[in-house]
């Protein structure tokens, strides 16, 4: 059995490797294109999420590339956190990496006393949707259109969290 890649806090130097991971994921789907101008947060990825009170984690693969990523940002007015940049290299899918990344965001949410997690996901990413549902997320009513280069429609997913014990 191969060991999971090492999870770590992202840095701003992860900009290009993170963009490469996302572009490779998009390339797996028809009419799903990566365009740098649509991801300004990737110029300074760690700083972007830190400035919002959140975190970004990445997993370094054995080949030196980023093998996975996940970010979390508080949404205080909803007593929730929102997940972003949930990606895993195809070679790591099914390895437990995504669960390990998700565990980081869950620990962040629980430590902050948040009651819910949410995320938006491209309607094309059916495999990801099954993963989210396996983790207890429920697809919420409504979709949103991004008017991006890929003409993306996204689905909304939410997961209630257990209240903190006193």
Q: Is residue 46 part of a domain?
A: yes
Q: Is residue 136 part of a domain?
A: yes
Q: Is residue 122 part of a domain?
A: yes
Residues 6+ positions from 105 with CB-CB distance below 8 Å: 55, 70, 71, 72, 81, 83, 117
Q: What is the model's pTM?
A: 0.93
Per-residue pLDDT of the chain (166 residues; tens, 9 = 90+): 456 778 999 999 999 999 999 999 999 999 999 999 999 999 999 999 999 999 999 999 888 899 999 999 999 999 999 999 999 998 888 889 999 999 999 999 999 999 999 999 999 999 999 999 999 999 999 899 999 999 999 999 999 998 755 5
Work out the number of other CB atoms within 10 angstroms of the CB of residue 147: 8
d(CA 78, CA 71): 18
Q: How many domains does the chain have?
A: 1
pLDDT for the residue numbered 129: 96
Q: Is residue 90 part of a domain?
A: yes
Q: Can you give the residue range of the structural domain that contains 113? A: 6-160
Q: Is 103 helix (H, G, I), strand (E, B) or coil?
A: helix
CATH number at residue 45: 3.40.630.30
Q: Is residue 1 part of a domain?
A: no
Q: Is residue 166 part of a domain?
A: no
pLDDT for the residue numbered 2: 57
Q: Is residue 165 part of a domain?
A: no
């Amino acid at each position: 059995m191969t060991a999971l890649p090492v999870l770590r806090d992202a840095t701003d130097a992860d900009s290009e490797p993170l963009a490469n991971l996302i572009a490779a994921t998009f390339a797996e789907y028809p009419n799903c294109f990566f365009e740098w101008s649509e991801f300004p947060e990737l110029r300074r990825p760690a700083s972007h999420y830190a400035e919002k009170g959140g975190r970004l984690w990445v997993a370094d693969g054995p080949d030196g590339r980023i093998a996975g990523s996940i970010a979390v940002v508080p949404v205080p007015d909803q007593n929730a956190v929102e997940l972003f940049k949930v990606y895993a290299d195809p070679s790591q899918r099914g390895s437990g990496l995504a669960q390990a990344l998700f565990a980081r965001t869950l620990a962040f949410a629980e430590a902050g006393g948040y009651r819910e997690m949410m995320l938006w996901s491209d309607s094309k990413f059916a495999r990801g949707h099954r993963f989210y549902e396996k983790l207890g997320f429920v697809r919420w009513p409504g979709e949103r259109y991004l008017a991006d280069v890929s003409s993306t429609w996204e689905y909304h997913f939410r997961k209630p969290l257990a209240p903190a014990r006193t």
